[in-house]
Amino acid sequence: MMNEIVPGCHVIMHFTLILEDGTVAEDSSDSEPLAFIMGDGSLIEGLEVVLYGLKAGDEQTVTLTPDQAFGFHDPENIHVVPLSDFSVGMQPEENQIIVFTTPTGNEVAGTIKKVSTDTALVDFNHPLAGHNLLYKVRILEVTITQDHC
């Protein structure tokens, strides 16, 4: 009997992430498959939910809404950052994604939206926030381990 995906099992899969306009944002089939422990936080919750019960060889296609994926775009996550806050010698450019360290030590990515003389407008929303996303997955392997299940 083939193992079904359950919380804590080890899963190896290929996936394709397609944007609303048909653009392929990411495709693992030309590289290493994604390996993770089910429920370890590696996947967005909306994608994880549709994997439960699948077995090696199964394929699934699902469209996730913003609330199931990366959330909705929040205008309050756009901030003006003084250029003096950037690393010495760094010149931020529009559409550049930069990793910032918060006062608590966490790292968060921000997209530079506009650069002026003394400041940069930085969008800290996930780049895929507010988008419906189509995922195609192909399960390669499901392993139940005593350590995790």
pLDDT of the chain, 149 residues: tens digit per residue: 789 999 999 999 999 999 999 999 999 998 999 999 999 999 999 999 999 999 999 999 999 999 999 999 999 999 999 999 888 888 899 999 999 888 898 888 999 999 999 999 999 999 999 999 999 999 999 998 765 44
Alpha-carbon gap, residue 87 to 58, rounded angstroms:
47
Residue 125 is encoded by which pair of tokens? 């929303």
Domains of the chain: 10-70+129-143 (3.10.50.40), 75-123 (2.40.10.330)
Alpha-carbon gap, residue 127 to 140, rounded angstroms:
28
Which residues touch 131 (CB under 8 Å, ≥6 apart)? 19, 20, 66, 69, 70
Helix (H/G/I), strand (E/B), else coil: 85 = helix
Q: Where are the alpha helices (DSSP H) in the chain?
A: 45-51
Alpha-carbon gap, residue 68 to 130, rounded angstroms:
10
The pLDDT of residue 147: 56
Q: What is the pTM of this model?
A: 0.79
